[in-house]
A and B are shown apart, each in its own frame.
Chain A
Amino acid sequence: MITARPLLAASLALVTGIALAGCASSEAGAELEETAETVSFTWDRNVAGEDEDPQFETTTVEAPLDPDTIVVFDIAALDTIGALGGEVAGAPLENVPDYLQGYLADDAFNVGTLFEADLLEIEAQQPDLIIIGGRSTALYDDLSRIAPTVDLSLTGSYLDTLERNTLFLGAVLGVEEEAAVAVDELSAGIDEARAVAAEAGTGLGIMVSGGSLSALAPAGDGADARSARGGLIYDLFGVEPVVDDIASATHGEPISFEFLVEYDPDYLWVVDRDAAIGTEGAEAAAAVLDNDIVEQTTAFADDHIVYLDATAWYVVFGGIDTTRLMIDDVLQIAG
């Protein structure tokens, strides 16, 4: 109890901060302005500290064209840079999932964790561009003293952010056309997946962690940063939620196994959190769901329990390869 309380409070504050940051800046589209040497990136930066009411300051950063050394704290940006043919020199190495390891430079250095920057190491490497987002937004002040720093956090809808970030990174890397093609391809893929999901009846996104279940929430009308993670199953792919009043919280609401029987969605979309964060061999979601009560559900009877790529849906979300993985996860129900 003594350890759990402050941690819970801290994580709640963090989640709220991210959600609020997303809300207020959702109108700010990116205005890309390219000059001979730089791409200008403008966004509403939350300058209030964690636990404070968000206070936004429109920030413009001139990102250098074709930078040699890119440092990335936002894993989705690592994904997009790599998928567009670029390479990342520094990243929080422990947080890079296997499927994105190839996008790191061979001698990639560790920049710290998602929350904590190894400023001395970063300074020593003299990066040309630093990219933060989501969990690492608070690092802006420190990092921007070292090099031009842009924040690619989710703002507005998932698709808007994906498009904004992909086009920006495409411009920086000098591959605007490829970036535009990727955006079109992903939009088409998402449309295809939406069509499949629309046929699939009702769905419920659940997260399994430490043997407990929680129901994931659609973001509802204000499709903002909260729509990230498991909620994307409703917000991005249009799955019809079997219950529509789940509170919008990134970690959902605790439910019992009985809940699954009673609401009995046609499809159960499962995010296995322990798998997402690499708790190898932890009681897998499949083992938790392998029980007499779950066997009573329609989703079980019809073999409609879909295990989502937990890393993509829970940890990264937002990059090119990751979005492809998510599209494939939904398309697999088309059989």
Chain B
Amino acid sequence: MTAAAVAPTSAPAPTRPRRTWVGALIGASLAILAVVSLFVGVSDVSPAALLAGGSDGPAAFLLVSSRIPRTVAVILVGASLGIAGLIMQMLVRNRFVEPGTTGVTEFATLGMLVVMIFQPAMPVPGKMAVAAVFGLFGTWVFLRVIRAVPVRQLVLVPLVGIMLAGIVGSITAFFAYRLDLLQSLGQWAQGSFATVMAGRYEFVWIAGAMVVVAWFAADRFSVIGLGEEFAVNLGLDYRRVVAIGMVVIAVITAAVLVTAGMIPFLGLVVPNVVSIIIGDNVRRSIPWVAGLGAAFVLACDLIARTVRFPYEIPLSVVVGVVGAGLFLWLLLRKGSRAH
């Protein structure tokens, strides 16, 4: 442990209230939503059916092979995407970035396309690894580009990110179009948990592991969020912490992409909401961001499952609609610190 580990962790707004009851509320809704998620679906998996069927009954089977994996996957994806957004915001010192608005997701998608073109039979771990490497490269490119932007205005940073994402996205779209892979890519990229089941979701545990990594490095990210000079003056190995953050972001993005697809806005909205409630201390906000992210995606996935029952609508559509609304609220609310 270096001195950095015990570096002062005072957040920019040190006297923000603890708001424990909001945290309890998030925790409670997460628990309730998770239980509801176990019992909502096409087939009859209710507590009654479970009791009637016993441990070998069809309800118990579906609970284990379909409902629990789906619920776990949704929770891990929600939690880890929130964390990826939080860390990205600390690295860039900007409230309006997340992997989806900085080109990281687009680079990871490009990685998926490269796999589809050259090694379509590659097993999922390989696909994820390639997507993660591309995502890592994308994070690096974004950070380099941002450094080169002379005026670090608040809105300029996400704008540059969105442009970068647009460029990479159009390259991907061009090659996918030329090679007739647009729809396959679209299917991969479309966020949905419809076909999640035991044996088809396990890679999101890696994203979950990244949340733990982020938790361990939380204080350092707080310091990074104060700026490079400040961090170096405190004796922090700036480059190494940034590198850890980049890996966490890239791996989470890739794991979520291969399992569920793209889920917009989440990494942007959730950390911002948490910041409004309890401030910018990363160690404090990590459980909040993870919990709120998980609860948010759980709620959206429940909507996706029930609106067109027994069919599903893509989760990304639900998250997009709800997330866009929240995002606008963040932008327009009075006295927004994001301005």
> A: which residues have CB within 8 A of B?
1-4, 7-8, 11, 94, 209-213, 215, 243, 246-247, 253-259, 261-263, 273-274, 277-283, 288, 291-293, 296
Contacts and interface: CB of A to CB of B under 8 A. Distances in A.
B172 A3 contact: yes
5 contacts: A210-B184, A255-B42, A263-B310, A279-B120, A293-B65
Interface string B65-81: 11000000000000000
A28 B22 CA distance: 65
A261 B185 CA distance: 27
The 7 closest A-B pairs by CB, nearest first: A210-B187, A281-B121, A3-B169, A253-B311, A281-B120, A258-B42, A262-B42
Given A282-B184, A291-B199, A293-B66, A256 B170 contact: no
B306 to A, nearest CB: 12
B61 A296 contact: yes
B100 A1 contact: yes
Given A258-B42, A296-B58, 5 more contacts: A2-B169, A3-B106, A3-B109, A3-B169, A211-B200
B62 A273 contact: no
A262 B66 CA distance: 13
Nearest to B314: A254
A261 B106 CA distance: 36
Contact of A259 (B180, B185, B310): B310
A262 B43 contact: yes
A49 B189 CA distance: 29
A220 B17 CA distance: 60
A2 B172 CA distance: 11
Contact of B194 (A243, A256, A282): A256
A265 B198 CA distance: 23
B332 to A, nearest CB: 22
Contacts of A282: 116, 120-121, 184
Nearest to A290: B199
A94 to B, nearest CB: 8
A1 B264 contact: yes
B197 A293 contact: yes
B274 interface: no
Contacts of B181: 277, 279
A210 B183 CA distance: 8
A243 B310 CA distance: 10
A94 B178 CA distance: 10
A213 B42 contact: no
Interface of B: 41-44, 58, 61-62, 65-66, 100, 105-106, 109, 116, 120-121, 162, 165-166, 169-170, 172-173, 180-190, 192, 194-195, 197-200, 262, 264, 308, 310-314, 316, 320
A4 B262 contact: yes
A6 B27 CA distance: 37
Nearest to A114: B180
Contacts of B316: 1
Given A1-B316, A2-B162, A277-B183, A255 B172 contact: no
A4 B257 CA distance: 13
B184 A274 contact: yes
Contacts of B43: 258, 261-262
B106 A292 contact: no
Given A279-B120, A293-B66, A258 B41 contact: yes
A292 B186 contact: no
A261 B313 CA distance: 19
Nearest to A281: B121
A32 to B, nearest CB: 35
A277 B44 CA distance: 36
Nearest to A215: B311
B299 to A, nearest CB: 18
A296 B314 CA distance: 25
Contact of B173 (A3, A257, A258): A3
A317 to B, nearest CB: 17
Nearest to B182: A7
A288 B199 CA distance: 11
Contacts of A255: 42, 194, 310-312
Nearest to B308: A253
Contacts of B311: 215, 246-247, 253-255, 259
Contacts of A11: 183
B73 to A, nearest CB: 13
A316 B169 CA distance: 30
A214 B219 CA distance: 45
A292 B198 CA distance: 8
B255 to A, nearest CB: 15
A2 B262 CA distance: 10
A212 B172 contact: no
A94, A211, A296, most chain B CB atoms within 10 A: A211
B194 A254 contact: yes
Contacts of B106: 2-3
Nearest to B319: A1
A211 B188 contact: yes
A253 B308 CA distance: 9
Contacts of B42: 255-256, 258-259, 261-263
Contacts of B187: 209-212
B189 A4 contact: yes
B135 to A, nearest CB: 15
A138 B62 CA distance: 48
B162 A254 contact: no
A209 B180 CA distance: 13
A291 B66 CA distance: 11
B176 to A, nearest CB: 8
